[in-house]
Structure 1
Amino acid sequence: MSSKSPLRRTAATALAAACALGALSACSSSGSSSDAGSGGTTTISFMQIMISGTQKSTLVALTDAFQKANPNIKVNLEYQPDYGTLHAKETAGVAAHNPPTIGQVYESWAAEYAKSQVILPVSQYAGSDSPAGLTDFYQGVQKDLRLPDGKLWMWPFNKSVQVIFYNQDMLQAKGLTAPTTWDQFATDAKAVSGNGVTAISVDPGTTASPAGGTTLFEALCAADGTPNFAADGTPQLNSPAAIQAMGYLADLKKSGALAVGSNYPGETALGAQKGAFDLSSAAGYYFENKAVGGKFTMGTEVLPTGSSGQPTNILSGTNIAMFASASKAQQAAAWKYMQFLASADSQAQWSSTTGYMPVTAKALDQMGDFLAKNPYMKTAADALNYAVAQPAFPWVAKAEGEEVVALQKVLEQGADPASALNAAQQAAVADQKAGQ
C-alpha cells in the first residue's frame, strides 16, 4: 500500500471566494446536519473516505455504539472514494455554504480552511485549547493537531507512520539482519539483488499525488538532518542532505538494487519474492501480508537512522476538523463524537481491525491479543512520539509535486541529482510565493 494517499490540489480561489468572514453567518450546515429543536435529535455529518473493508465496517460499528450511548445524536457518515475527492467535496461544500459538520483533513487542508475562517479552533467548541484527553496522545500526534499559529485546530483520527517491510528469510539466507541504518540498508539491498531480485521497488507518484518513492526521499532527507521543508514551510529541496538522498537513490538504481514502478510496486515485488524490502505506511500491513500470503516470514521495522543518528519518521494519515457553519448544538454533538473516536477503547478497536496506529498508549495497552500476533505495532506506535508530518502550509502539497519531477528525472532519465533538485527548489519556492 502506498505511503501517500491520492491527495490532489483544489483551487484555493473557490474556497477563498466563498469563505470570507462575512459569508459565514449566512452559511448553513450540510443538508445531512440539522437541529431538531429543544429535546429532539441533533444530526451531524462526518465526511470521510472509509468506504470499504474493515475501515468501513469498524467506523460503522463505532458510530452505532456512539449513537446507542447517545440516542439524541444522529451521525450521518458521508463517504468519498479517495482523499482527492474528499478535498474537492469539502471545498465545494464550503463554497455552496453547505459543508459537512466535520471532515477528515490533511494538515495543509486545515491551513487553507483556517486561513479562510471556515473551520473552528478546538477551543471554540471544547471550551479550552488543551481539552481533556489531549495529553494522552503520543507527542508527535499532539504536535500535529496544531497549525503554525499555535492554535489547536484538529483532533486525531487515522494516523500512521512509515515502516520497512522485508523478507526475513531472504536476508537470513545472506547472513543479514534488518538494517538499523540507511548505510546498512544500501549494503544489504545490493547484497540481495541479482538473479531476478531487485531489493526495493518504488513509485514516485505524480505531481498531484506523490507516492512511496517520494516518501522514501523525504525520509532520507530527514534522517540526514535536513527535512525537505523547514518548519515554516520553506522548501529545502536542494540542501546537501537532499542532494545526498537523491544520490543515494540514484546509486541504488545504478547498482540494480532499486527499480521504479507504479501501483504499489514494492508491495507486489515483495510478495512475489522478487523484492526484499518495501517502505510503506504501517497501516498497509494487511495489504503487505496479503501479498506475501505466508510464502515467507515477513519482518517489519521502523525506519533506519541516518547521519543525524536520531530516529526520524514521517507522520501520515488525517485528523478531523469542524466546519464553522455548525450550530452550537451540532458543535457539542460533534465534539462528543470526536472525543469518542479518539478514546482509548475506540482507538484500540480501530487499530486492531484497520492497522492504523492507536493514537494513545492507553489504547495500545488494550490491544494485548493483537500485539501478540502483530508485534510490529508496538514499535510503530512508539514512533508516534517523534514522527513529524509535512508542515501545515497550503503550498506544501504542490511543492511536494516538484520532488516527484526531480525523482522521475533522476531515476528514470538519469539526470544529475543536484541539477534536478535545483530545478525542483526553484519551482517549489515559486509555489510557496504563490500560496502565501
Structure 2
Amino acid sequence: MKSLKRQAGLPLATASLMVLLAACGTTNAADDANGTDKTNAAAANTANADAAAAANSGANTANAAADTQKEPVKVVWWHSMSGELGKAVTELVADFNASHPDIQVEEAYQGTYDDSLNKMKASLDSKSGPSLIQVYEIGSKFMVDSKAITPVQDFIDAESYDVSNLEPNILGYYTFNNKLYSMPFNTSNPILYYNKDMFKAAGLDPEKPPVTYEDVKKDAQALTKDGKTGASFAIYGWFMEQFFANQGAEYLDNGNGRTGMATKSLLDSEAGLKTMDWLKDLIDSKDALNLGRKTDDTKKAFLAGQIGMTLDSTASLRGIVDGAKDKFEVGTAFLPKPEGASGGGVVVGGASLWIMNNKPAEEQKAAWEFIKYLAQPDTQAKWHINTGYFPITKKAYDEQSVKDNMAAYPQFKTAVDQLHATTLTPATQGAVMGVFPEARQIVEGAIEETIGGQKDSKKALDDAAKAITEKIETYNKTVK
C-alpha cells in the first residue's frame, strides 16, 4: 500500500514521463513485433520460394522424363508375305522394334498383292490405310500416278543418303525420270531349273544347260522318254515380259512407258512371235507339258521327277533345291533366248516399299528409318538367307552368313550372275503401265488360245495387243 501511495503522490512531470516511457515502450514493442513478423514473413517467403523452385524443378524433371518416355511413333506396314516369308517379315520387324524404341512398326498381312493394293485404294479417302505398303513391281505405275505417295528420293536427298552400294539393276526398275519412288525390298528374276540326273540319263552334259530356245527344244526331245517329259513352263505373263527383255525388245511404246506415257502394246512384235511359236512347238511335239498357269504345279512336277526342265523365280531356289534333296541334283541356268538374239537381260520381279503421303511428317520419317534398316547389309543378308530373294545391296555378299549360304546353295550364283550380266536399258528396266495386272491376264489368255489351238500365234498376239492397248488408252484418260 505504501508503495502505491508513493506512486500516487508522484509529481505530474514524473507521471507524464512515465506515460511517455510507456508510450515509447509500447511503440518499441510494436516495432519489435513488426520486425519479428517481417523476419518470419521473409523466412516464409524464402521457404515458399524454395518449395516453388523445388516443385518447378520436380515438374521439369517429370516433364523431361515424360518427353524421354513419350509414346513411340507408330508405323503401320501392309505386306503380302505369307507362310515362311511372313515369318521372316515378323522377325525383321521384331529386330527393328527392339533396336528402335522411339519407333514401333506394326506389320499387317493384307493378302495377295492385288488384295493389298485394292484395300489401299479403298483407304485413301478415309486415311485408314498404312504408313508403308509393299506393292508388286507391276503396280508401280499406278502408285506413281496415284499422287498418294512420297517418293523415297525426297528422303534420300534430304540427308544425302548413299545409294551407291544398292544394286543398280534393281533400283532401275523403280526409278522414273531419274527419281527413285520406292525402295526395293523383295527382288527376284526367273531362271531355268533342270534335273542333272535326267540330263545324264538322256546322254546330255549336265554341266551344259540349254542357252537358246533351240537348245531347249533339242534337250527336251532327248529328255522325253520313259514316261517323263522334257519340260513344262507355267503360262505366266511375267515369263513373256522376261522373254521380251532377254531379246532386248521393249514391251510397250515410248521407251517401255519410261520416256513418256505408254500408249500401245508391242506384244505382237517379232519378239512375241518367236516366243509364242517356240512355246506352241514344244507343246505340239509333246516335248513339254501344259500344266496351266500356276508355277506351283510345274514346281511339283519337277520335284517329282516328271519333267526335266522348268522356269521359276530365283526366290523358289532354296525350296526347289531342298525339295530335290536325296532325289536328284538341281542345275540352274540363265533364261533362254532365241538363237541370234544379242544383248538383253532380265527384269527384276518382286516388290518394293512405298511411303504414303497422307500420314504426318513424323510418321513418314519413321517409315523411312525402317526402310533404311531393311536396306542394311546385315538385314538384307538375313532376308536373303531366309527367303531366297536377292539382297538389294552389294555389301550383303560380304556378310559371312551369305558366303556360307552361297556355299550351301551354289545354284544361286546363276541368279546373281544373270542379274549382273544384264545391261540396264529401257527393255531390261522393265515396262510400266497402269493396267499391268490386267495386261498379264490378257497375255496368259493369248498363250492358252495358241497352245490350245484356238488361234495361231499371230492372231492371238494381235488380239491381245489390241486389248491391252485399249485398256492403256482408257487408263491414260483417267490420269492428269
Task: State whether TM-score is above 0.5.
Answer: yes
| Residue number in structure 2 paired with 1:370 | 405
Shift in Å at residue 389 of structure 1?
5.6
Between the aligned partners of 1:284 and 1:95, the Cα distance in structure 2 is 37
Shift in Å at residue 357 of structure 1?
0.9
Alignment of 1:54-69 (within 5 A): 55-69=85-99
Between the aligned partners of 1:200 and 1:252, the Cα distance in structure 2 is 8
Of 240-249 and 407-416, the range deviating more from structure 2:
407-416
**Aligned pair in 2 of structure 1 residues 361, 124: CA closer, same or farther (>3 Å)?**
closer
| Residue number in structure 2 paired with 1:402 | 442
Greater per-residue helix proportion = 2
| Residue number in structure 1 paired with 2:418 | 383
Q: Deviations over 1:157-182 (max 9, x none)?
A: 10011111110111122232311223
**Aligned pair in 2 of structure 1 residues 303, 273: CA closer, same or farther (>3 Å)?**
same
Is 1:426 paired with 2:466? yes
- Would the aligned equivalents of 2:229 and 2:288 in 1 still touch at CA under 8 Å? yes
Shift in Å at residue 305 of structure 1?
4.0
- Would the aligned equivalents of 1:155 and 1:319 in 2 still touch at CA under 8 Å? yes
| Residue number in structure 1 paired with 2:37 | none
- Would the aligned equivalents of 2:133 and 2:355 in 1 still touch at CA under 8 Å? yes
Q: Deviations over 1:107-163 (max 9, x none)?
A: 4433223223111112333444x952422111211211213x432210011001111
1:134 alignment partner, SS class = coil
Q: Which has the higher contact order (CA 8 A, sep 6+)?
A: 1
Moved segments of 4+, more than 4 Å:
36-39
Is 1:47 paired with 2:82? no
From 329, 343, 347, the equivalent of 2:380 is 347
Between the aligned partners of 2:241 and 2:75, the Cα distance in structure 1 is 38
From 145, 148, 158, the equivalent of 2:174 is 145
**Aligned pair in 2 of structure 1 residues 37, 405: CA closer, same or farther (>3 Å)?**
farther
TM-score, length-normalised on structure 1?
Answer: 0.84
Percent identity between matched residues is 25
- Would the aligned equivalents of 1:358 and 1:381 in 2 still touch at CA under 8 Å? no
Q: Which runs of 5+ in 2 are unaligned?
A: 1-65
Is 1:253 paired with 2:283? yes
Of 134-143 and 385-394, the range deviating more from structure 2:
385-394
**Aligned pair in 2 of structure 1 residues 350, 432: CA closer, same or farther (>3 Å)?**
same
Between the aligned partners of 1:108 and 1:165, the Cα distance in structure 2 is 24
- Would the aligned equivalents of 1:198 and 1:274 in 2 still touch at CA under 8 Å? yes
| Residue number in structure 1 paired with 2:193 | 165
Shift in Å at residue 67 of structure 1?
1.6
Shift in Å at residue 251 of structure 1?
0.8
Is 1:216 paired with 2:239? yes
Q: Which runs of 5+ in 1 are unaligned?
A: 1-35, 205-210
Between the aligned partners of 1:43 and 1:37, the Cα distance in structure 2 is 16
| Residue number in structure 1 paired with 2:451 | 411
From 191, 195, 198, the equivalent of 2:229 is 198
- Would the aligned equivalents of 2:150 and 2:181 in 1 still touch at CA under 8 Å? yes
Is 1:179 paired with 2:210? yes
Q: Deviations over 1:85-114 (max 9, x none)?
A: 111122122132222000101244332232
Q: Write the letter of the residue equivalent to 2:291.
A: G
Between the aligned partners of 2:138 and 2:160, the Cα distance in structure 1 is 23
Shift in Å at residue 427 of structure 1?
0.8
| Residue number in structure 1 paired with 2:116 | 86
Give the aligned CA root-mean-square deviation in angstroms: 2.2
- Would the aligned equivalents of 1:202 and 1:265 in 2 still touch at CA under 8 Å? no
Q: Write the letter of the residue equivalent to 2:465.
A: Q
Shift in Å at residue 69 of structure 1?
1.7
**Aligned pair in 2 of structure 1 residues 66, 112: CA closer, same or farther (>3 Å)?**
same
- Would the aligned equivalents of 1:199 and 1:275 in 2 still touch at CA under 8 Å? yes
Higher radius of gyration, 1 or 2: 2
| Residue number in structure 2 paired with 1:19 | none
Shift in Å at residue 201 of structure 1?
1.8
| Residue number in structure 1 paired with 2:38 | none
**Aligned pair in 2 of structure 1 residues 269, 124: CA closer, same or farther (>3 Å)?**
same
Alignment of 1:2-81 (within 5 A): 39-53=70-84, 55-81=85-111
| Residue number in structure 1 paired with 2:302 | 270
Of 282-291 and 75-84, the range deviating more from structure 2:
282-291
**Aligned pair in 2 of structure 1 residues 223, 110: CA closer, same or farther (>3 Å)?**
closer
Shift in Å at residue 371 of structure 1?
0.6
Between the aligned partners of 2:387 and 2:302, the Cα distance in structure 1 is 21
1:221 alignment partner, SS class = helix
Shift in Å at residue 203 of structure 1?
3.0
- Would the aligned equivalents of 2:188 and 2:350 in 1 still touch at CA under 8 Å? yes
- Would the aligned equivalents of 1:199 and 1:257 in 2 still touch at CA under 8 Å? yes
- Would the aligned equivalents of 1:246 and 1:417 in 2 still touch at CA under 8 Å? yes
Between the aligned partners of 1:252 and 1:196, the Cα distance in structure 2 is 16
Shift in Å at residue 414 of structure 1?
4.9
- Would the aligned equivalents of 2:234 and 2:311 in 1 still touch at CA under 8 Å? no
- Would the aligned equivalents of 2:247 and 2:345 in 1 still touch at CA under 8 Å? no
Q: Deviations over 1:356-407 (max 9, x none)?
A: 1111221122111101011122331233342736423202332222211210
